[in-house]
Amino acid sequence: MRGIILAGGVGSRLYPLTYSVNKHLLPVYDKPMIYYPLATLMNSGINEILLISNPADIPAFKRVLGTGSHLGIDLRYESQEEPRGIVEAFLIAEKFIGNENVALILGDNLFHGSGLGRNLADLNHVDGAHIFAYRVNNPQDYGVIEFDKNFKIVSIYEKPSAPISNFAIPGLYFFDSSVKKLAKEVKVSTRGELEIVSLLEIYQDHKNISAQLLPRGTVWLDAGSPKALSDASNFVRIIEERQGYKIACLEEISWRLGLISHSNLKKLVLSYPKSNYQSYLLDLLNQEFEKEL
């Protein structure tokens, strides 16, 4: 399975923070926002990842993440000239997807929960489309799922003014390789976008879509507004301070997944400037050394 991170758009809800910086490079507590969706894909066992963003911002992402080789992954980049909707990502990524299944995550979405990565890895061989549902108090801001009494999908709505349920669709989607073909059937909406809900409806018409509630205790945050960005930062800070581990520490994830060796991690960490981030990773290395004694 391959992965796509859609990190385009102009970040209008965060203006003027985004006047000179792509929103996905803004800090969520102690790391750039882009670390969090990348961590979700990596924890799902996805090592070939395409990042799609505005042409002017691609160089900045490359400075931050490079080719991904230092993390043991293959990270590539493509441009989205203008924000024309989520579905356009599949058109841009057609060659990248090839005959593989693909997961797409929005660059301003943060997911955290015990065992979440293992659960997502089970979807690497998905047949059709698979989405998630998450109960929220403001469903009108998202795509919304209506379920029947057996928790089967009845209908899907894009930002309805009068939501029929409180189950929002988070910005993480799994598709089989037919998404390349079906994405081309999506028509531009009245908002002038290729809506993800329209693509999901095509899968629904083919009776080839499934949905599940994100496990209890899983946190999903959309950091695309000032309040949401602040809430996400506070959440990460509280978890890291109280539990003593870092969320979305890409180097740690790579090391624990066996994508890079102990010695490679040490060499990488020693190249970093002195910081709390470096100290955290050095402590991990020291703990592992003590275990081997």
Q: What is the pLDDT along the chain (293 residues), one digit of tens a residue?
A: 999 999 988 888 898 989 889 999 999 999 999 999 999 999 999 999 999 999 999 999 999 999 999 999 999 999 998 889 999 999 999 999 999 999 999 999 999 987 787 788 888 889 999 999 999 998 998 989 999 888 889 999 888 888 889 999 999 999 999 999 999 999 999 888 999 999 999 999 988 999 988 877 899 999 989 999 999 999 999 999 999 999 999 999 999 999 999 999 999 999 999 999 999 999 999 886 545 43
The token pair that represents 118 in the structure block: 């293992």
The pTM (predicted TM-score) of the whole model is: 0.94
Rounded to the nearest 5°, which phi and psi values hold at 179?
-60, -30
Give the chain's mean pLDDT. 92
Query: Measuring CA to CA, how many Å separate 273 from each of 179, 240, 246?
Result: 43, 20, 18
C-alpha to C-alpha distance for 231 and 90, rounded to whole angstroms? 30
The pLDDT tens digits for 180-195 are: 999 999 999 988 899 9
Domain spanning 2-128+174-209+218-260, CATH architecture: Alpha-Beta Complex (3.90)
C-alpha to C-alpha distance for 250 and 43, rounded to whole angstroms? 10
**What SS3 class is residue 53?**
strand
Question: What is the pLDDT at residue 159?
Answer: 86
Which sequence spans correspond to the domains of the chain? 2-128+174-209+218-260, 262-293
Question: What is the pLDDT at residue 291?
Answer: 54
